């Protein structure tokens, strides 16, 4: 139900973060204000910035630093954790290996998924059974990223609870059988920049990641400061810039937008 929005709204979700699990949250005017803003953002754009999210700035900075350091490594070092079927499609993905709508994307990444035990999702989940691959240097990167993932999944749960209230359901409407045992995906992405991909053997495509719609209920995007690259398309097909704003994540509601598109409400 995206409209001809011209900018991406910024929502301070700190009241929802603080009282997400409080049984009296629906009686709190500050929480209800956040719920109303989430509802409007989902109806008009499907994208919004969140601030007041509660994830420590120091943790976010450390995650960005180790990510940059990894992508600055020589190619052969990065290939030590190469993505492969044997690794459950986890690990390092070279520039151009990720495909969007048939076109190679000009980025590299470390792909990580919730670690699942054999048989957890039956035959359907067999291809992604495995453990995540992390670089050996620095030695604390695994613990750092797992802490970051824990914060992000908890933040996503709180945002989904706010959206459930906006849709007229209970806060835990998306939990239980619907999405109570969430499967998460983390992509740590490095973009080489056009200057590094052009040249004598320049690729036909210089776009870091092609236009796409995210799967899943919620995506959190943690952008590098000072680089405006993310764009969101409105109903008229106009591309709206979503520049990095310090202290925020860009949130995309992904498949949950379908609930809004069909006007579905719970009673």
Note the pLDDT of residue 199.
44
List the one residue out of 245, 207, 208, 239 whose CA is nearest residue 225: 245
Contact 1, 128 (CB under 8 A): no
For residue range 175-234, list pLDDT tens digits in order. Answer: 877 667 888 999 999 998 755 444 445 556 678 888 888 888 899 999 999 888 899 988
What domains, with CATH codes, occur in the chain? Answer: 10-261 (2.60.120.330)
For residue range 44-70, list pLDDT tens digits in order. Answer: 999 999 999 999 999 999 999 999 999
Residue 253 scores a pLDDT above 90: no
Give CA–CA dist 172/63, Å, rounded. 30
Residue 152 scores a pLDDT above 60: yes
Return the minimum-mean-pLDDT range out of 151-155, 234-238, 241-245, 263-267: 263-267
| pLDDT band for position 4 (cuts 50, 70, 90) | confident
Residue 138 scores a pLDDT above 80: yes
């Amino acid at each position: 139900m995206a409209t001809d929005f011209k900018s991406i709204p910024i929502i301070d979700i700190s009241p929802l973060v603080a009282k997400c699990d409080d049984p009296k949250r629906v009686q709190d005017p500050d929480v209800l204000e956040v719920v109303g803003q989430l509802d409007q953002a989902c109806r008009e754009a499907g994208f919004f910035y969140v601030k007041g999210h509660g994830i420590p700035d120091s943790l976010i900075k450390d995650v960005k630093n180790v990510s940059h350091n990894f992508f600055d490594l020589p190619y052969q070092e990065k290939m030590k954790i190469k993505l492969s079927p044997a690794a459950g499609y986890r690990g390092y993905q070279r520039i151009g290996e990720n495909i969007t709508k048939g076109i190679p994307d000009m980025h590299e990444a470390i792909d990580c998924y919730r670690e699942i035990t054999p048989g957890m999702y039956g035959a359907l989940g067999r291809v992604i059974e495995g453990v995540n691959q992390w670089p050996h240097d620095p030695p604390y990167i695994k613990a750092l990223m797992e802490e970051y993932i824990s914060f992000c999944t908890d933040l996503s749960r709180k945002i989904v609870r706010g959206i459930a209230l906006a849709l007229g359901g209970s806060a835990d409407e998306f939990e239980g059988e619907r999405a109570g045992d969430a499967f998460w995906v983390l992509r740590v992405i490095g973009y080489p920049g056009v200057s590094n991909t052009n040249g004598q053997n320049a690729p036909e495509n210089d776009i870091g990641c092609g236009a796409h719609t995210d799967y899943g209920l919620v995506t959190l995007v943690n952008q590098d400061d000072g680089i405006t690259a993310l764009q969101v398309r409105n109903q008229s097909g106009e591309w709206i810039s979503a520049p990095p704003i310090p202290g925020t994540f860009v949130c995309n509601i992904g498949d949950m937008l379908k609930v809004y598109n069909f006007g579905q409400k719970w009673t």
